[in-house]
Structure formats: structure tokens, C-alpha cells
Structure 1
Amino acid sequence: MSLRNAMHNALADGRSESWWELPNIRLMDNHRAILDETIIKLRRQVSAPTPGQIVASLPFGFWTRLLDKGIPRDPVLSYETAFWQPRLIKAFPQAVNLKRKVLFADLTQIREMRNRIAHHEPIFKMPLETIQNDISRIAGYVHADATVIMNGCSRVAAVLERKQDAIVHGINSF
């Protein structure tokens, strides 16, 4: 949620809350389709969805894919020059020398884990400690206190400490 809001705020800053409607904003066809489908679904519930409702309804994958490369060297569809350099880097004010493609790779792995969980698929073979560290680090890029707050109320580290025993010995003490 904080990632989504930070990215939206960076894209909307100084222009429209509906930044995706601006004529100079071009999304790859698959990204535009996700946005359009989200708006169509919302219109079944409310006649005129607000920008806030649209932003909140867009899936995590939409936001992570805005950090993809798009079409490199394309004057309009290079996400590096159209989104990252002028705006999205500002969504991560606590990061130093953050590279779009590194952030995209980390978020892609997080999204894949999230999707596996949502589909009740096993995740024990995934690099859970690395992913947990990535989530914590990326949250800290968005806001200085985010990592501390998140780690203070999370049980993930404690569960991960017991993971190997559970896998090897079948101990179910979770």
C-alpha cells in the first residue's frame, strides 16, 4: 500500500490525480489493459470512480510493472525515461543510488511470492529470508520509519527461524 501510494503521488505530483489520463502518458498495451479493466470493474459498482478508488483497485502487479524497462530507447514507451527518471525515483526518497532494474527485479520476486501465497502454492523453496529483507529494505526506501514499524509488528522473522526444523522434522509449532 505504501509503495502504491508513493508511486501514485510521484506520478501525480504537480499534475492530475488521474495522471494516466494525461495525453503525454503512454503505457504499454498490457499495462493500459490492466488499468482499463480495473476502471470497467469499478464502473459496475460506482458510475464515476474517483482517482483514489482507481489507484486502490489497481493490482500490485500494475505498480511493479511500471518499474519495468518498457521499450528501451523508445522516446515514449521507455519506462526508464518516461516514468523512472523524471518521477518514480522520487517515490523512494530514502534510497541512495537506487537502480530501477534492481528494484524491479526485487519487486518481481516479491510479487511472485505474493501470488504463490494467494493461490495456496508452496513457498518453502523460495528464498524467503532474502524476500523478507527486500520487503523491509524497499519499505525503508519509501519512508525512513517504515522498516522499523513493519519489523516491529511482523512475525515473519520468528517463523523463518523455525522454518528449517519444520521442513526437516515436520515440526508444526507455528
Structure 2
Amino acid sequence: MWVGLTGAGVPRDPLFSYETSLWQPRLVHAPVYRSSIETLRDDIVELIGVIDSDVAGAIAAGHRIDEVLTRKRTAIADGVMRL
């Protein structure tokens, strides 16, 4: 099902053009656009923890989100991006 819905559908068809009839009008309402990346990270780890706590622990220990956000804040403050 998801493979079909993530494809183009039938272009220019008002009902089966998934991009214009399904994704564009719905994605603007998705909470992912309104949440902070930290909140999304925590929610993802929590949801994975329901399925497998070991995997959730590995993701929590191995993600680079905090590092990347710190680099972003520093780059904005300094005006210089450091790799």
C-alpha cells in the first residue's frame, strides 16, 4: 500500500495524482512541521522503545542530533560553518 501511495500515481488525474490530491493538502497539517527536532527525536526513541528497548537504547546513544543542532547554533551565532 505505502509503495503505491508514495509513487506519482497518475499524473494530471484529479483523483489519482497523489502528490496534489493526497500529500500536498495533508502534509501541511502534519505535527512534524510544528514540533522541535528534540521533541521528534524523543518521540521516535519512545515509540521504538515500545517495540524493542535495545534498539531504542542504541538509537538514543548513537544519534548525532544534539551535535548537529549545536553546530547549527554556533554557525548562526558566529556566521561560520565548521565541518
The normalised TM-score by structure 2 is 0.49
Name the structure, 1 or 2, with higher relative contact order (CA <8 Å, separation 6+): 1
Give the structure-1-normalised TM-score. Answer: 0.28
Greater share of helix: 2
